[in-house]
Amino acid sequence: MMKIRVWGCRGSLPAPGPENNYYGGNTSCVEVTDGETCLILDAGSGIQRLGRFIDPKIKEIHILLTHLHIDHTMGMGFFLPLYNPSVKVHFWGPSSSVTPLLLRLRRYFSPPFFPVRLADLPNHPEIHELAFNDFSIGEFQIHSEYVCHPGPTLGFRVRLGKKTFAYIPDHEVRLGSTHFPTNPEWTSGFELANKVDLLFHDGGYTVPEYEQKLGWGHSAVEDTLDFATLCQVKHLAIFHHEPNNTDAQLESIFADSMKGKDLGFEVELCREGAEYFL
Amino acid sequence: MPAQPLELILGRQFVDTLSLPAFLVDPEGNLLFYNEPAGVIFGLNFGETGGMRVEEWSTVFTPFDEYGKPIDPEELPLVKTLRNQTPNSGSFYIHSMNGDKIHIKVNSFPIIARPERFLGALALFWKTDP
């Protein structure tokens, strides 16, 4: 069984505070496990807490980074298993045109950003570059491909047996699509999310907000609903909540976006601490 | 039909916004998209034709030299780009939709995505005096 737990679903910047307690303030981090096989999707601030509570039986951890924007990487150095000599950590992340992933990760693990270098860790993490790939980790079958977001940015489709989960936390689906939302062949991310059992997808903006932020790499909630409909997903959890929005504001945006819609699939705002079982 | 790679999706979006005529083709030379200005020159409408296989659109697009002699397809910039994965340029004549002989210049560019994935080519062209 695929167990999915959300450790952070806030976008751009951690947003702690009592007004955000329900949906949480930590940035992107999702744990996906099958027995002792452990995938961690993104290393935002949520990975710090995950590192404290991870199952001690797990001795090999695979961190899959969609991209290297700071809200997806800021927690890396605070992930305790990196300092445990009995744990092997793998970093998987997007290829760029020029700089190897190892060198881009070293920028984070070096002053002035962070005092500990990769070479100072008890086990040097194993680095894997990804682009348009199909690969396996344990029983998980994973497909990665680039999606529309500034800089090299991946989405992941994770399959275990017959169950599928797609993770596309940062994605400007309207900009990356022709005749959206009616043309799947020309829609960024379609192959990743097509008919999945569960989709986590970027949806931080209202439509008027999106119109002011074209090209920033994110989606309006309504576009996310349209994308999920096009992909015929079974369940959608909207991800990458704006740091300025409180729980009440998120729910208001969501309610407005859902008005008059009968989608035919489950949909909700992603919430830190939520668990899904596929 | 499987979705196109992001780089081609964004390439299509880009050329769709241009007033410069443009073609987008896959690595085999199949015409994935042409924009409205290109359609005006050839008397076609993408909304009606959709994409075209290479053998289809090569019958529509019949370039010739200043003496009216057909140009070997292997000498066309876009074909060279697909063969060599390098930018190319050239000029030749075609017949417009109303039968006029027009001279066009072409620049073609390979679409090489991260990391070194050859996905097709983009050809930009414009009418000019010979």
CATH number at residue B40: 3.30.450.20
B4: nearest CB among A97, A175, A185: A185
| Residues of chain A neighbouring B15 (CB-CB closer than 8 A) | none
CB contact B47 to A (< 8 Å): no
* Contact between B113 and A146 using a beta-carbon 8 Å cutoff: yes
CB atoms within 10 A of CB B130: 11
- Chain A closest CA to B47's CA: distance in Å? 11
**Residue B130 in this model has a pLDDT that exceeds 70:** yes
Q: Please give the share of chain A, as a percent, with pLDDT higher than 90.
A: 95
CA A255 from centroid of its chain's CA atoms: 23
- Chain B closest CA to A192's CA: distance in Å? 10
- Chain B closest CA to A74's CA: distance in Å? 25
Q: How does residue A206 score in pLDDT terms, banded at 50, 70 and 90?
A: very high
Q: How does residue B127 score in pLDDT terms, banded at 50, 70 and 90?
A: confident
Please state which of the ranges A36-50, B7-21, B74-88, B94-108 shows the lowest mean pLDDT.
B94-108
* Contact between B117 and A188 using a beta-carbon 8 Å cutoff: no
What total of structural domains would you count in chain B?
1
At B99 the pLDDT is: 78
Burial of A177 (0-12, 13-18, 19+ CB in 10 A): buried
Task: Name the more confident of A53 and B101.
Answer: A53
| Residues of chain B neighbouring A177 (CB-CB closer than 8 A) | 9, 13
* Contact between A175 and B5 using a beta-carbon 8 Å cutoff: no
At A193 the pLDDT is: 98
Task: Name the more confident of A72 and B1.
Answer: A72
Q: What is the mean pLDDT of residues A86-108?
A: 94
Q: What is the mean pLDDT of residues A143-148?
A: 96
**Residue B52 in this model has a pLDDT that exceeds 70:** yes
Residue B1 lies in a domain: no
**Residue A47 in this model has a pLDDT that exceeds 80:** yes
Task: Name the more confident of B128 and A235.
Answer: A235
**Residue A51 in this model has a pLDDT that exceeds 80:** yes
Task: Name the more confident of A133 and B43.
Answer: A133
Q: How does residue B73 score in pLDDT terms, banded at 50, 70 and 90?
A: confident
| Residues of chain A neighbouring B14 (CB-CB closer than 8 A) | none
Residue B11 lies in a domain: yes
* Contact between B3 and A95 using a beta-carbon 8 Å cutoff: no
Q: Are B15 and B24 in contact (CB under 8 A)?
A: yes
Q: What is the mean pLDDT of residues A99-108?
A: 95
> CA end-to-end span of chain A, whole Å?
6
At B55 the pLDDT is: 80
Distance CA B81, CA B87 (A): 6
| Residues of chain B neighbouring A148 (CB-CB closer than 8 A) | 6, 9-10
Specify the CATH number of the domain A3-277. 3.60.15.10
* Contact between A97 and B114 using a beta-carbon 8 Å cutoff: yes
| Residues of chain A neighbouring B13 (CB-CB closer than 8 A) | 175-178
At B33 the pLDDT is: 94
Q: Please give the share of chain B, as a percent, with pLDDT higher than 90.
A: 54
Q: What is the mean pLDDT of residues B8-28?
A: 92
ipTM of the complex: 0.76
Distance CA A58, CA A251 (A): 36
At A221 the pLDDT is: 97
| Residues of chain A neighbouring B26 (CB-CB closer than 8 A) | none
**Angular region, B81: left φ>0, alpha ψ -120 to 50, beta rest:** alpha
A188: nearest CB among B1, B2, B9: B9
Which residue in B has a C-alpha nearest to residue A100's C-alpha?
A: B115
Which residue in A has a C-alpha nearest to residue B1's C-alpha?
A: A185
**Residue A168 in this model has a pLDDT that exceeds 90:** yes
At B3 the pLDDT is: 87
| Residues of chain B neighbouring A231 (CB-CB closer than 8 A) | none
* Contact between B6 and A145 using a beta-carbon 8 Å cutoff: yes
**Residue A246 in this model has a pLDDT that exceeds 80:** yes
Burial of A13 (0-12, 13-18, 19+ CB in 10 A): middle
For chain A, where are the E strands, in sequence order? 3-8, 29-34, 37-41, 60-64, 88-94, 126-130, 133-137, 140-146, 154-160, 163-168, 198-202, 235-239, 266-269, 275-277
Q: How does residue B97 score in pLDDT terms, banded at 50, 70 and 90?
A: low
Please give the mean pLDDT across all residues of chain A.
Answer: 96
